[in-house]
Amino acid sequence: MVFEAFREEAEQLIREAVKQTGYSIERVVLEEPPRQEYGDLSSTVAFDIAKKQKRKPLEVAEELHSKMISFKRNLVGDVNVTPPGYLNFKVNRPKFCNLTLQKSIDEKLGFIDIGKGKKVAVEHTSVNPNKALHIGHLRNVVIGDVVQRLLKYTNHQVVVLNYIDDSGLQVADIIVGFKFLGFPEDPPDPKIKFDHYCGDHVYVKVNQMYSDKPETEKYRRIVLKELENHSSETYEYAKKITERVLYEQLKTCTSIGAFYDCLNFESDIVASKIWQKVFQQMKDQKIIVYEEEGKNAGCWVIKGADDQDKVLIRSDGTATYIAKDIPYAAWKLGLVDDFFNYQKFMVQKNGKVLWKTTLSEGEKDHPIFNNADVAINVIDVRQGRLQKIIASIIKRFGEKGKQKDYIHLGYEIVSLSKDTAIEMGLKVEDKDFIHMSGRAGIYINADDVLEKLEKLALQETLHRNPDADPNWIQEIAMSIAVSAIRYGLIKQDFGKILVFDLKEALKLEGETGPYLQYTYARASRILEKHGEFTPMIEVNGIFEQEEYKFIKELSKFTIIIKDATTRLEPNKLAEYAHNICLLFNTFYEKYPVLHEQDKIKKGQRLILVKAFLNVLKDLMFILGIESHSRI
RNA sequence: GGGCUCGUGGCCCAGUACGGAUAAGGCAUUGGCCUUCGGAGCCAAGGAUCGUGGGUUCAAAUCCCACCGGGCCCA
C-alpha cells in the first residue's frame, strides 16, 4: 500500500543520486530506524559505497544528500544525514496519512493479486481416521486453513485436500479391536463422541493388549492384508468405521472454521494400482534405475535423492511406502491422469459440498481437484526427509514436472508442558515438556480444550452482557474460544516446538485472539455510536505522534500480506494484527473521537477508526477469527 | 555414525533470509488510570552475559568456525 510506495520513492532517490555521483551499487538497503527522530526509513548505502571507494561514510552520505536536494518528491519529505553515515528519509506526513487512510477505507481493500489465478492444492489435517484430533493435529489444521485463506485472499485458485490414511496400522488396530478383541462397536456412553471412543479406548487398549498378549498381534497382520482388498468384508467394515470417525473429526475441524474440498483415501490409491503405471513412467523417463550390484542389488532405486540412493522397489518386488506418496503427489500436480472417481461425502456447515475419492462409480459433475501448479503439504517436520525426496522426484518428472512445485510446509510438533503433563497424572521426571503419543494415550483432545475455552468465554461474556440473548451469548462464546485456540496455534514460528500449556491456552488477555476481537468491538462501537458519516470532506492530514505511528503501521498492510504469502509465513499476520491493535488501544486511551471538539480532528479520527477496522477485519478473516461489533 | 532444527529478561516469544543506531511484544511482579467513545483495556517501573568460545567487519542476536545443551530424522 502506501508504505511500499514511499519505500520505492526513497529507493529511486538513492539510485538517481548514486547514478549522478558515478558510483555503483547492487542493492539499496532501506530499513526502519530504531527511533522515530531518525526518520521513517534509513539507508546504509553510504557505508557500502564508502567501503568500495575507501572514503568516509559520512562524506559519501553528505554527497548523496546534496544531489537529492533538487530531486522531485512526492511522499518523501525531508532527507537528512546522521553520523556515522546514515541517510534518513522522512515522509511527507499530511500526504502520506491522507493517502493511507483513503486507501484503507476503500471497501475493496481485500484484493491483492499475487497469485494471478495460479492453481494451488493445499493439503492439511490428514489425521488417521482411528481417533479424535488432539491439540497437535489442530496446529496442522489451523496452519493449513490460514494458508488456504491467505492464498485465496491473494487471488490463488485453491483446492483444499485432506488425506485419509485408511489402510495403515492405526486403522488396522481399531478394526482388530472391534473384530477380534470384542470391543463393542458403540461407545458405552452415548454422550462420548465416536472418534474419542475409538482413540481414547479402543486404540490405546488394543495396543496395550499387543504388549500384554503378543499373540494378539497376528490379527493386525490379517486385517492389514485384507484392507488392501476392496472386495473383502473387512475392507467394507473398516470403511464404515473410518467414515464414522471421519464425520466426528470433521465436526471438530468445522467448529473452528476449517473446511475442505476433497477427502483423498489412501486405500483408493493403493487399490487403483496406479503405482504400476507410475512405475512404468518412471522407468521410461529413467527417473529410477535397476541396481545390479552393491547393497541394493536387485532393487529399483532413485539415484542421489537426498544425497543417497533410495530404494523404491525392494528386491523381493514389494514397494516401499514411497509407492503411495509419489503417485499421489503426481496426481496433485497433474503428472498422471486422474485415476480417481468422486462422490459427495457431505454438505459442510458453510454450505459447500465435501467430496471424496472412490474407485466405484463416481458422479459426473464434480469439480477438478488435481492438476495444480503448486502443491502445498502441511505436515510436521518429522516427515521432512520423505517430503524432500518426493519434491526432488517430482522435479524429475520431465518438462512438466520442472514447472510444478511440491512444497512441504513443515512445522514443529506440539508437546505438553511439564505443568499440564503433571496435571494429567503423567510422569515427567526432569523434562521441561513431553511429546504426545496417541498410542500411549499421552495427549489432550482438541474438543476438550475447546470445551474448556468455551465455558470460560461463556462466563466472561455473560458477565459483560447480563441481559443479552442466551443464544447470542452462546454463539459469541464459541467464537471467542475459536479465536483463542486459532491465534495460539498460528502465532508462533513454525520451526519451534509449541509447548502446550493448558493454563496458558485458556487466557483471553494479552497477545491472544480475544484481544483482537475485543479491540475490534471497541472500535466498532465508536462508529456505531456516531452513525453515518461522509469521510474525507475536510481533512488536513495533521496528526498527533501516536496517531501517526498508528497510520504508518496500517500503511504496511500490503507489505505484510505479500511477505506472509510469498514466504508462507502466515504467523506474521497474527503478529501484525496484534501490533495494530496495540496501537489502536494506545490511540483510543489518549485521544477522544466522539468527544473531540475540533471538527477536522474528529473527522480524521473517525476515518482512522474506520480504516483500522477495515484492515483488522481482513486480517482476522484470513486468520479465521470472527469479527463482531459486540462481544 | 550422518543430516536437520531450536537455544533471546523469572516464563513465553519477535527480530536472523538481506549485518547498522538505545533488542520489540506478551505473561508474571510492583505502582498508577473508570463523573468523557467498552478496564478482555491503557500508562509507568524493574528485569537481557541474545547458549559458550573464537573469527570476519567501521559495525554481529544476525555471517563463518568450533563447542555445549534440547528436539527430530536417517543408519
Non-local CB neighbours of A50 within 8 Å, separated by 6+ positions: A56, A57, A59, A60, A85
Q: Do A238 and A370 lie in a common domain? A: yes
Q: How many angstroms separate the CA of A517 from the C1' of B38?
A: 12
Least confident range of A22-26, A82-86, A341-345, A463-467: A22-26
Grid cell digits, residue A204? 490405546
Question: Which nucleotide is nearest to A431 if distance is taken from CA to C1'?
Answer: B70
Domain boundary among A414, A442, A476: A414
- Has residue A501 been placed in a domain? no
Three cell numbers written together for A78: 525531508
| Nearest protein residue to nucleotide B42, judged by CA and C1' positions | A589
Whether omega before A84 lies within 30 degrees of 0, making that bond cis, reads yes
Neighbour tally for A307: CB within 10 Å = 5
Residue A463, nucleotide of least CA–C1' distance = B40
Q: Which residues pair with A164 in a beta bridge?
A: A265
Task: Give the closest nucleotide to A572 (alpha carbon vs C1').
Answer: B14
Between residues A552 and A320, which one has the greater pLDDT?
A: A552
Residues 489-548 of A with CB under 7 A from strand B: 492-493, 495-499, 507-511, 514-515, 518, 521-522, 525-526, 529
A530 nearest nt, CA–C1': B37
Find the domain containing A266 and state its range: 119-414
* 3-class DSSP assignment, residue A422: helix
- A 458-487: CB within 7 Å of strand B: 460-461, 464, 476, 480
Query: Cell 512526492 belongs to which residue?
Result: A74
pLDDT at A276 over 70: yes
Collapsed DSSP state (helix, strand, coil) of residue A133:
coil
Averaged pLDDT for residues A502-512: 94
Q: 3-state DSSP call for residue A353?
A: strand
A157-164 and A262-265 as β-strands: parallel, antiparallel, unpaired?
parallel
Q: Write down which residue in A378, A396, A414 finishes a domain.
A: A414
CATH number at residue A369: 3.40.50.620
Kindly state whether residue A257 falls inside one of the protein's structural domains.
yes
Q: How many domains does chain A have?
A: 2
| Burial tier of A463 (Cβ tally within 10 Å: 0-12, 13-18, 19+) | exposed
SS3 for A184? coil
Are the beta carbons of A292 and A398 closer than 8 angstroms? no
Residues 72-91 of chain A within 7 A of strand B, judged by CB, are 82, 84, 86, 88
Asked whether residue A66 falls in the same domain as residue A210, the answer is no
Q: What is the pLDDT of residue A307?
A: 58
Band (pLDDT 50/70/90 cuts) for residue A541 is: confident
Of A366, A365, A373, A363, give the one whose Cα is nearest residue A334.
A373
Residue A133: which of A256, A261, A269, A224 has the closest Cα? A256
Same domain for A156 and A44: no
Flag whether the ipTM exceeds 0.85. yes
- A337 CA vs B27 C1’ separation (Å): 53
Instruction: Say whether the CB atom of A385 is under 7 angstroms from strand B.
Output: yes
Chain B nucleotides reached by a protein CB under 7 Å: 4-7, 12-15, 17-23, 25-28, 36-43, 58-59, 70-74
Distance, Å, A217 CA → B60 C1': 57
Of A residues 314-373, those with CB within 7 angstroms of nucleic strand B are none
Query: Do residue A178 and residue A50 come from a single domain?
Result: no
Q: Which pLDDT score, from 0 to 100, does residue A432 have?
A: 86
Residue A34 lies in a domain: yes
Q: What is the rounded CA–CA span in Å between residue A446 and residue A164?
A: 19
C-alpha triplet A363, A344, A253: angle, nearest 5°: 155
Considering only CA atoms, which residue is closest to the C1' of nucleotide B38? A522
Q: Closest nucleotide (CA of A434 to C1')? A: B71
Residue A182 gets the label, from left (phi > 0), alpha (psi -120 to 50) or beta, of left
Instruction: Answer for A35: CB within 7 Å of strand B.
Output: yes
Residues A272 and A140 in one domain: yes
In the complex, which nucleotide's C1' lies nearest to the CA atom of residue A88?
Answer: B21
Q: For residue A433, give the H/E element and its range.
A: strand A433-435
Give the cell for residue A378.
Answer: 502441511
| The pLDDT of residue A317 | 72
H runs (alpha helix) in A333-441: 384-395, 398-403, 418-423
CB A554 within 8 A of CB A611: yes
Angle at which helices A571-590 and A513-530 pack, to 10 degrees?
Answer: 50
Specify the pLDDT at position A298: 82
Question: Within a domain: residue A150?
Answer: yes
Measured CA A574 to C1' B13 distance, in angstroms:
13
Cell of A358: 472412490
Confidence tier at A111 by pLDDT (50, 70, 90): confident
Q: In this structure, is residue A434 part of a structural domain?
A: no
The helix (run of H) or strand (run of E) holding residue A212 is helix A204-212
Q: Within a domain: residue A18?
A: yes
Helix (H) or strand (E) holding A529: helix A513-530
- The mean pLDDT of A404-411, rounded to a whole number, is 96
Window from A78-87, A269-278, A553-562 with minimum mean pLDDT: A269-278
In a 3-state reduction of DSSP, which class is residue A355?
strand
Whether residue A101 is contained in a domain is answered as no
Query: Which range (A56-70, A131-145, A246-260, A562-576) has the least confidence?
Result: A56-70
Digit-coded pLDDT (tens) for A300-347? 888 765 556 777 777 777 777 677 899 999 999 999 999 999 999 999
Domain co-membership, A314 together with A355: yes
Residue of A583, A585, A609, A582 whose CA lies nearest to A596: A609
> Do residues A454 and A440 touch, judged by C-beta distance below 8 A?
no
Q: What percentage of chain A exceeds 70 in pLDDT?
A: 98
A136 shares a domain with A49 = no
pLDDT grade for A24, boundaries at 50, 70 and 90: confident
CATH assignment at residue A85: 3.30.1360.70
What pLDDT score does A305 carry? 59
Q: Which of residues 162-221 of A touch strand B (CB under 7 A)?
A: none
Q: Which three cell numbers stand for residue A51?
A: 567501503
Cell numbers for A587: 490511540
Q: Give chain A's count of helices (H) and strands (E).
A: 24, 17
Residue A411 has pLDDT above 60, yes or no: yes
Does residue A33 sit within a domain? Answer: yes
